[in-house]
Amino acid sequence: MGTYNHYVIVKFKDGVEVEELIQDLEKMISGIEHVKSFQWGKDIESHEMLRQGFTHAFLMTFNGKEDLSAFQVHPKHTEFSKIFSPALENIVVLDFPSNIVKAPA
C-alpha cells in the first residue's frame, strides 16, 4: 500500500507570528509517531492572482488512512488546532492516497 497524504494550504490572518506558529507545528508533528514525513514551504514565486492570498503549504504523509485518522484525534494535534485554526483567514485541506508516476531518485 502506498502513502496517504494530508495537504494543507493556508492564508494567515494579518499580525500572526507565522514563524513562531510553524516552529510549534514542527514540534507538535515531531512528537506524533503516526506521521511518516512532514514538509512545508512558503510561496515565493506565484502571482497574487493565482495564489489568492494563500502563502504556506504543509504536506504530511502517513502509511495509510488509518494513521491519518489517528493523527487527527491525537491529543497533541487537537491542542495545537486550538491555536492554529484561529490564526487562519482561509484554509484548504486535501487528504488523498499517493499515485506515484515517477518515484524520487
Q: Answer whether residue 1 shows pLDDT above 60.
A: no
Within a domain: residue 88?
yes
Residue 34 lies in a domain: yes
Q: The CATH number of the domain where 27 resides is what? A: 3.30.70.100
In a domain, 104, yes or no: no
Q: Does residue 102 fall inside a structural domain?
A: no
Range of the structural domain that residue 41 is part of: 4-97
pLDDT of residue 47: 86
Q: How many domains does the chain have?
A: 1
pLDDT digits (tens, 9 = 90+) for 6-63: 999 999 999 999 999 999 999 999 999 999 999 999 999 888 888 899 999 999 999 9
Whether residue 92 is contained in a domain is answered as yes
pTM flag (> 0.85): yes
Is residue 105 situated within a structural domain? Answer: no
Domain presence at residue 103: no
CA–CA gap between residue 36 and residue 60 (Å, rounded): 7
- pLDDT at position 103 is 75
What CA–CA distance (Å, rounded) separates 77 from 93? 15
| 68: in domain | yes
What are the DSSP calls for 5-29, one per residue? Answer: EEEEEEEEPTT--HHHHHHHHHHHH
